[in-house]
Structure 1
Amino acid sequence: MLKHALINSEAEWKKLLTFDAGDIDYEWLTDAVFRSVSIKEEIVKKDPFEHNIRKALNLGHTVGHAFESFALETERPVLHGYAVAWGLISELYLSHRVCGFPKEELQKTVRFIPRNYGAFALDCDDYEHLYDIMTHDKKNANASSVNFTLLSGIGDIQINRVAGKDLIFQSLDFYRDSVGL
């Protein structure tokens, strides 16, 4: 739901940031899930074969899939949605650095994620392997850089953006710092 809010609108994002996993309002949650599904459905209808705007749904997935694969390899399986949320931390950092995503929105979103999704433990020694997983993702035929969907602002999607290894490692440092590892 967080990803859908980020790619949709500031109003949707602000609503979602009011969610508290420790004190769930199920009526609010039902409405939020409905809105999230509607956002995804609208995007898929516009681009059923992922040639353009549907790539917006990949936000958080490049790093998130690396976390998810690494978790399975190390026998610490995680839920896909959690992996994508953790991936958002790194990818919003990349959005800030590559596309000028505003620092205030970055900080607010990053504070929300560990509060509601916890954290996935990793060490600096894991970065090389995570990067290798990212370069072998189906979207990344060119191993000298990794392809991402990023944001220049909430609702302002930037598809087919690339980041090199050094910047990706910085984003993983940012992730670790943000979740208190």
Structure 2
Amino acid sequence: MQDVILLVSTSAIFIFGYFLMNKLDVFLENNWNRQETALTYGENSLRIGFSNPFMAGGLADTFETYGKQHPDVSIHIFSGEESELCRELETHKLDIIFLPENTDISKKTHYNARMVLLRCAPVVMEYADFPIEPITQNQITQIALWRDSKKSPVIDFFIGCLNKFAVDQSQM
């Protein structure tokens, strides 16, 4: 009799655990989707992509100025290949991207563009807390690209902060 009671109670615990884990999986999946949606389409976020992650450090002062003026906006920095960054800009998953000046840009999508001079800055590896130092100390010309969007005040203020890095096209 004890064996039957033990078998029934153990089976009930496993069945309850199975249903509980299914509920947890659904909750986690929904939470993940909400976070991804908030990151992709969040009104209070500015998503910036760089083809060269060393360039992000060159904008540290700009990020600081922007953060003081817009403390409610979170800045997310991404890095990837030029084609990936352009695709993410087209699909509104990124707000602004920085590419090398000689990048071939698709003509089928209208972009706003500004040439900027940025200096490479060290990047610190997240897990090893180990800095990676750039070899060049020269300023490098980059193209800042962005699309018109409903969030333009957030983007426009950041673009305004880039004025001190702007390249005079007539001198090139």
**What is the TM-score normalised by the length of structure 1?**
0.28
Task: Identify which of structures 1 and 2 has the higher relative contact order when contacts are C-alpha pairs closer than 8 Å and 6+ apart.
Answer: 1
Which protein is richer in strand relative to its size? 2
Which protein is richer in helix relative to its size? 1
Greater Cα radius of gyration, structure 1 or 2: 2
